[in-house]
Every structure is written in structure tokens, then in C-alpha cells.
Amino acid sequence: MSVIELRSVSKWFGSVVAVSDVSFSIDRGVTALLGPNGAGKSTVLRMLCGLTRPSDGSVRVLGGDPATDPALARRIGIVPQQEGLFDKLTAVEFVTLAGTLQGLDDPGAAARRALEVVELDHADTRAVGGYSKGMRQRVKVAQALVHDPDVVFLDEPLTGLDPRQRKHMIELFGRLGDEGRCVLVSSHVLDEVERFGSRILVIVQGRLAAEGDFHAIRDLMDDRPHRIRVETDRPRQLAAGLLAEGVALGVRLDGPQAVLVDTVDAAAFRHAVGPVAVATGARLLAVAPLDDDLDSVFRYLVGR
């Protein structure tokens, strides 16, 4: 059984359908939940945490229903999207409270450890009400990790963090995944999501648009050619050879030493490009896919 399972889940608010017939399952490791603003990412995360119930379908986390089984909370950590914290408490008080309510034997020590993980000073006597946005975000992450949860849900956790903190946080998510936890991160900062790992869920207009490894998703997009840039000393000859070989849909010279190739079968192209270069006497200087990144996949799925 997967750690997380959604089966035919829909959620509507009055006449507005926020999530429509979404099914997926997730195992341990880091998975990114992507989608444009208003796509339904937060609603999916809120249903996974039990904060809101699905209008239809079923949600299972670790085999239980998070909306009706408070005991599940012991194994789930959540970083909600909203900024509100108990502003009068210090960071260590806030995280210790989380540890106490999670039933830890020594919540104070666990809180100090969790704050160290997010690079916050547990001896800071300031109340969190006076913290910057980035610091508040890290307090939220610390309270979600204080009880060593098996499953961690993070709703836009990189918001407000500076580049160094983002890098640190992304490394932390990766570490949590490597330790065998199930980590689901929603984000719209694609270049950073790309660094979490390659497993993604894409939600568009409340529906699941794609799931899995985004490179594999890219390969499935066979109605859209891959564009590859090949640097060579004989671009014209190489282009003609690739067309004659039948692995290129179209070619275009890109300056005196490069050719842009459109192909529907990237694997066949990879196999053919070497022999064609040899046959045409062209020296290959570089071969790079131009639209194989997450941003390209995402734009394709959202714009479809």
C-alpha cells in the first residue's frame, strides 16, 4: 500500500469545483505538487492533512483517514501556507508547544534540535511576532519536523526565504526523502522544484494533468517535438544527414557552428546523431536538449 492514496477525489465549494476527480498515490521520497495559482494545490494538501474533507472520493494517508483520525497527526508534519503563528511565543516556545501536543517525552530538546535543523537560534528571546517572513517560514518547518514525522506536507515552503535559505531548505527536503520519509512539497518556483528530485504531480484547473518523473512525462508529450541544439563544425552537412536519416522533423541553422533539430523521438535521435556525424565528416562539439526542463514541461501541461 502506498503512503498516500487519493481515489477519485473531488472538492467543491458551492458551485466552484476546486478539485475534480483526482486520483494518485505517492510513496516515500520527495514529490513536488505543481500547478498555477488557483489550480487546487492547497486544497489537495488540505485534504491530505484532514483540514478539509473531500466532497467525493477517499483520502488515505498511512492507511487512515486524516480528517477523522487525530492519531495520524503523530506521524504527519504540516507546514501550512498561511503566515499566522502564535505571535507572543518565542520560536523555541512555539516548537516546544508542538512537541508537547505531539506527546514527545522531552519536547524542549526536540524543539532545540528542530530549530537547529532550520538554522534558527533556539536561545533567541524575541517573540516570533517580530520575526521576518523567512524566519517565520523556518519556524513553521521546525514545528512540522519536531516529532520526526513519516509524512511531511509543505505548502509553498520556500516563500519568503532568501536564496541561501532556499538552497538549505531544498537540501533538507532531499535529506528527509533520503531518510525514507514521504515528503510532498507544493510550489510554483519551478527551477527550485527541479532540484528536489524529478517526481512531480501537476494539477491544472482542479484536475491532475500529469504525474511521475518529469523527464518521462516529457517523453510522453509526443505531440510536441523535442528541440535539440547540436554544435558542430559542419552544421549544414549534419542537418542534411539527420533529415536523410529520418530522425529529424525539421532543422534550422543557429549561427555558423550550430543547428537546431526538432525531433519526435529523442531516443532514436540520440542513437542516430553519432553515426550521422561520422558519415558526414562533422565533428560534434555539444548536444543539448533545449526544452527538456521542468519549466518547459510545466508550460506545456498548463497551456494545453
Give the interface with other proteins as residue ranges (CB under 8 A). Answer: 49-53, 64, 68, 70-76, 78, 80, 82-86, 88-89, 97-98, 100-103, 113-114, 117, 143, 145, 148-150, 179-181
Least distance in Å: CB of 72 to other proteins? Answer: 8
The residue among 45 and 277 lying less far from other proteins, judged by its C-beta, is 45
The residue among 197 and 241 lying less far from other proteins, judged by its C-beta, is 197
Least distance in Å: CB of 148 to other proteins? Answer: 5
Distance CA 133, CA 43 (A): 23
Report DSSP letters for 75-143, one per residue: GEEEE-SS----TTSBHHHHHHHHHHHTT-SSHHHHHHHHHHHTT--TT--SBGGGS-HHHHHHHHHHH
Least distance in Å: CB of 60 to other proteins? Answer: 13
The residue among 47, 31, 138, 130 whose CA lies nearest residue 90 is 130
Least distance in Å: CB of 149 to other proteins? Answer: 7
Distance CA 199, CA 173 (A): 13
Which uninterrupted H or E stretch holds 286?
Answer: strand 284-289
Least distance in Å: CB of 6 to other proteins? Answer: 18
The residue among 71 and 255 lying less far from other proteins, judged by its C-beta, is 71
The residue among 114 and 277 lying less far from other proteins, judged by its C-beta, is 114
The residue among 234, 228, 242 whose CA lies nearest residue 274 is 242
The residue among 50 and 206 lying less far from other proteins, judged by its C-beta, is 50
Residue 90 contacts residue 125 (beta carbons within 8 Å)? yes
